[in-house]
Copies of this chain bind each other. A is one copy, B any other.
Amino acid sequence: MISIAIHGGAGVISRAQMTAENERAYRADLERALDAGYAVLESGGTSLDATVTAVRILEDSPLFNAGLGAVFNHEGINELDAAIMDGATRKAGAVAGVRHIKNPIELARMVMERSPHVLLSGAGAEEFALEQGVKLVPGSYFYTERRWKQLEEARRDDKMASADEDIGFFSTVGAVARDRQGNLAAATSTGGMTNKRWGRIGDSPIIGAGTYADNASCAVSATGSGEYFMRAVVAHEICARVRLTGVSAADAAKDVVHKLLVEIGGDGGVIVVDKNGELSMDFNTEGMFRGARDSRGRREIAIY
């Protein structure tokens, strides 16, 4: 079975603020990403290509907190993180704190495939990008008025992010997929937290925390209050439970999201694909922008 799941972040998604028009816009972009990723799998493409295709579309949408539309840090700058992992080889690549990369997920893949490293950061990661022929974009490319207003509000209240107001508080994006060869992949991309300071790096670019893939168990992309996902090493924890105890990926995900994470105070969710292509999507927040499609005919987009 070929299958793909995507997410556009979990958190407080206020039904009051979510107008019908707003909801249509979110659903349309999620659908576009889901179907484009699925089309890659359907034409015999790899799970790596499918996840990158889906994540790139979400990065290019101004609605989600990744690529265009990313949140601003305390200094009013967009700092982007992304990671990808190949379940067949357990190779991985990630970037943290890049400021001029239109599609961080593509740079993460270059780190995996063309460098001896797993994680590159900051200006150094952009130097690597230049050496790979990537065209940098000006910081202003990432600007959206909505995110700027969120920063102003967060600065005014001196808090990290504004949970009440923000549709998609943790609206990191991600994808997991299984291709025809049975290979799994996971990809995640984010702008982090509004008003973040001190070069903070969250869970998304951390292999094991926000992103993990292993053909022997499953592939996971996470979204939520990153620090808790890092402390619980959520993505690797789910894969380790499947591999070591034989529990299903769906049950492992449910347990980790609703017990382990809740126990330490973490909010958010995960999307998971297991080695047979079974998809699961779990969250302990009010909602999670998400989509799932497989070759058994499942095709759904959901928010709450």
Contact = CB atoms under 8 A, between A and B. Distances in A.
A124 B192 CA distance: 15
A236 interface: yes
Interface string A107-147: 00000000111111111110110000000000000000000
Contacts of A244: 240-241, 244-245
A199 B124 contact: yes
Interface in A76-116: 85, 90-92, 96-97, 115-116
Secondary structure of the A contact surface, majority rule: mixed
Given A116-B160, A209-B207, A240-B240, A231 B92 contact: yes
A42 interface: no
A210 B199 CA distance: 20
Given A97-B122, A121-B122, A241-B244, A230 B207 contact: yes
Contacts of A119: 200-202, 206, 230
A259 interface: no
Nearest to A197: B124
Copies per complex of this chain: 2
Interface residues of A, number: 44
B240 A201 contact: no
Interface string A232-264: 110011001100110000000000000000001
A199 B94 CA distance: 12
A126 to B, nearest CB: 9
B240 A118 contact: no
A227 interface: yes
Interface string A166-188: 00000000000000000000000
A231 B202 CA distance: 17
A264 B90 contact: yes
Q: Which of A121, A197, A199 has the most CB of B within 10 A?
A: A199
Contact of A122 (B92, B115, B122, B212): B122
Contact of A207 (B116, B233, B245, B264): B233
Nearest to A129: B198
9 contacts: A97-B199, A115-B198, A117-B198, A119-B200, A119-B206, A121-B201, A208-B209, A236-B236, A244-B244
The 7 closest A-B pairs by CB, nearest first: A124-B199, A121-B199, A208-B233, A124-B198, A128-B198, A240-B240, A208-B208
